[in-house]
Structure 1
């Protein structure tokens, strides 16, 4: 990164500054201001996690010392801010008022940018949609998607309850006092909050809204990129448990922003990181090397220098996409996402009718099947396939080893032969699955893995479909038992080079617990029941039903 032109300035801090909202509620903010007589741009960060935590201390003095007024604010109902915390529902209007308040301060020159990660990222989009006139640029990191994009089940994932518990008071609640693994087994889903010892009305309200309706659309943003016209720096990691939102947002703004200016000035950075981006070279058992960490503050500073200060520092002319290719473990710059040179290659599910477990006869082939027997397994909600994860909501899953899980007969396993040369897969991953069930409603989960020569089965990505939502989250329709349906399963995105001697693997199952709630297979109203039914599942892969994972293969340079 080039050296910054401006000299470092002393920083003064003003704490618990009251910021009035349009309805009379006041929010609490800390100001980090440079010691200068000149007016400066403002950076606004709005958080439910405390306006003075480690995340803020790592950023606020950095930007203030380089000529920005940094506003760190508790969102409504959290910390020292007044009002009631209702996740996301007040953030559009409050974001507008906060941005315009900052722009009107005597120390501000009228240019405002926003930044933040996770909840702090999504609230930027909700605020931007209200069209605050002084908002000039955003930095959106590990951004949650619209409702049911990450969890297309009609109900919140069990680990979302952990997040609601953590944010259920004005200050952060200690989640380590709860046995979350025991909590997640509770049925019905609607009253799972009882197992925490604390009533969480928000949990029950979300469970009751078990389809994409007007209640959810009030906090959606990903269908409205055509209303926006802002330069946005989009940042996430391949193992971010909310990863799917960031590439979708980049594509949405890059193709649908209101003007050519907005479409042109988007930048995407995807590293080998979890939800806590750019913190460590290691993730689980893997070490991606020192090159996997970047000067993220420096990149963010250059972004704001360009769009808030008007400095022509070259950031607008650089390639808009920076990706870390795992396996090869190097950064690469690209001109678009997905890559135009992609060869979309179907790898077909094949077997002799016994693909159950990694000891079965399933394989993957680029040759389409002819007449071929189907695979069968029983899905029992009382004994779901585990998804490997820590129990809290801080990070759901990683590059974990699924070789032990693959010993189960209710997991179908399809693998290639060891690769004769390295193969790069970079882009969105989708699965076309033909399947039937004995149940009126059930789930199908797909996992995409890299199997090392020593047997380590590294999870790369995964996805799922709930049968009743196969036509969309706003159009639930139960299954006809025994009927074959074609399912389109989004397995998110990856950039990974399979090394010579490794194998590509796909798992198919009907549960991934506790990442997703257990489908009880009854077809009853979601979240309400305790009765379970064992579902007999059949996966087809023949000439008429060519089940396949479609991989974005990148030709070798």
Structure 2
């Protein structure tokens, strides 16, 4: 352990002359040490950043915590994700040539701080040797495949809309989220946000959005990466995709073998509590995560032989059993992808309907239908200003509504483990030229608690891809594959597997107004008649990654 020296308000000049501000924590030693770079839009001198910087410095790493361009004491204009790649490059290379640094640099940080590590890695800083991105967002339209940002993005953009973080608690966000058109939601919040409006000029995947994409370029990133997230992180999608992408596509065998994945029973703020919402995952839920990060940096920045190379690369928490397990890969090679089929006699509306779920394919069954009224959206249970969008919440009350369909299995007689990517296959039609279909997977406990596990959605105008919008022929039956992303959960005896199908999950996603008009620009709303088909020709199902 070292004593720590702090250097506040360091100035680093970017290639265009812009000066950014940084705080530096270095061990009190004459030996050269590696650097860890943390770049943040949330204030470099927060208590958490100071404590973290000193912790790593005491263990032999210099830590540089930087206000990104346009935030805090840094010059320039903050535009989310734009320009972060080159600024990251310049910051890493500045750190590498400091008199205390041995030339080895790693990066660390979560959420926005995680994604900008990936963007920086694509610029290939010569001294960047390892990354630890935590809860990294995916590419645009992967986790919100709607063509436009969800309402809760407005809250985040409000937070970072000036040089220091704004007070979001003074705004009635539920009222703001209900505002139409979405384009002027910033006006409804009381603050002009030019970037919010600019996004509506790009309501499909185009070159403007591709500037902030990285998940199609893993073959360009030749680095060891420690990937960390939680099953209930609202940006959980990115981390498993990034791990599997790097283990399969990184350009060198060394990089492919040096990927590590940690997935816990956590939300967006990882490893803070054993409890998330109403569910307590037990004492095992909390781990010494920071020491794992340190071991990773010790291996790849200091060259220590500390056993990481011999360990299994995947560490996942299995909910239901509430225990950790080490695995050799993700997804698990022994997965049996098992369809469970939707059934009913035509009245699956609400949990009081006759919707069932079983492994028997349907034969001759009547379709189910419901009316989707955007003025009365099905809620996605969440706090309106939370960085954590939803959790293992109880949907039993939501399932009383008749504008969603509920399909539930018989009580299980033995454990069933579902670990990996979940996908729904829906055969559906709509009376609208454009609409949405949402699917959620639940565990129904014997007492009726209906625990959300994972979910996904499709906006039908993007049936052919996020870069190819096309309105649907009204009444035509289409097959939709919907990624519900990942979970690791054991359904216990007496529990039931449940799937709900709806056309809204508000405010996680914006309400589809069912009109087919340009997205986000209109206040006009139509009600849509939705049908879900489940017969021999249209075997709607949810495909579960079953582990035996």
Shorter-chain TM-score range:
over 0.9
1:432-459 CA-partner distances (Å, limit 9, x unpaired): 0000000000000000000000000000
1:352-388 CA-partner distances (Å, limit 9, x unpaired): 1100000000000101011111001110111111111
Name the CA distance, whole Å, in 2 between partners of 1:238 and 1:470: 27
Name the CA distance, whole Å, in 1 between partners of 2:297 and 2:285: 23
The TM-score normalised by the length of structure 1 is 0.98
- Distance apart, 1:54 and its partner CA: 3.1
- Distance apart, 1:290 and its partner CA: 1.2
1:464-509 CA-partner distances (Å, limit 9, x unpaired): 0000011111111100000001101010100000110000000000
Contact kept in structure 2, 1:467 and 1:478, CA below 8 Å:
yes
- Residue 4 of structure 1 corresponds to none
Query: Do residues 83 (structure 1) and 64 (structure 2) align?
Result: no
Q: What is the aligned residue count? A: 548
Name the CA distance, whole Å, in 2 between partners of 1:274 and 1:121: 15
- In structure 1, list runs of 5 or more residues that go unmatched: 1-7
Equivalent residue in structure 2 for 1:46, among 39, 55, 58? 39
Contact kept in structure 2, 1:208 and 1:527, CA below 8 Å:
no
- Residue 61 of structure 1 corresponds to 54
Aligned counterparts, 1:471-550, within 5 A: 471-550=464-543
Name the CA distance, whole Å, in 2 between partners of 1:50 and 1:225: 30
Equivalent residue in structure 1 for 2:372, among 365, 379, 383? 379
1:30-70 CA-partner distances (Å, limit 9, x unpaired): 00010001110000000000111133133111110011110
Partner-residue secondary structure (3-state), 1:316 = helix
Partner-residue secondary structure (3-state), 1:77 = coil
- Distance apart, 1:315 and its partner CA: 1.0
- Residue 282 of structure 1 corresponds to 275
Query: Do residues 317 (structure 1) and 310 (structure 2) align?
Result: yes
Name the CA distance, whole Å, in 2 between partners of 1:275 and 1:175: 18
Equivalent residue in structure 1 for 2:104, among 111, 114, 119? 111
1:308-347 CA-partner distances (Å, limit 9, x unpaired): 0000001122100000000000000000001011111000
- In structure 2, list runs of 5 or more residues that go unmatched: none
Contact kept in structure 2, 1:239 and 1:275, CA below 8 Å:
yes
Partner-residue secondary structure (3-state), 1:519 = coil
- Residue 407 of structure 2 corresponds to 414
Contact kept in structure 2, 1:92 and 1:123, CA below 8 Å:
yes
- Distance apart, 1:294 and its partner CA: 0.6
1:184-242 CA-partner distances (Å, limit 9, x unpaired): 00000100111111111111111221000000000110000000110000000000000
Runs of 4+ in structure 1 deviating by more than 6 angstroms, as ranges, are none
Query: Do residues 248 (structure 1) and 221 (structure 2) align?
Result: no
Name the CA distance, whole Å, in 2 between partners of 1:358 and 1:69: 56
Contact kept in structure 2, 1:42 and 1:71, CA below 8 Å:
yes
Aligned counterparts, 1:441-456, within 5 A: 441-456=434-449
Aligned counterparts, 1:154-553, within 5 A: 154-553=147-546
Name the CA distance, whole Å, in 2 between partners of 1:497 and 1:431: 19
Name the CA distance, whole Å, in 2 between partners of 1:60 and 1:212: 38
Name the CA distance, whole Å, in 1 between partners of 2:485 and 2:236: 8
Contact kept in structure 2, 1:271 and 1:324, CA below 8 Å:
yes
Contact kept in structure 2, 1:396 and 1:515, CA below 8 Å:
yes
Aligned counterparts, 1:141-152, within 5 A: 141-152=134-145
The TM-score normalised by the length of structure 2 is 0.99
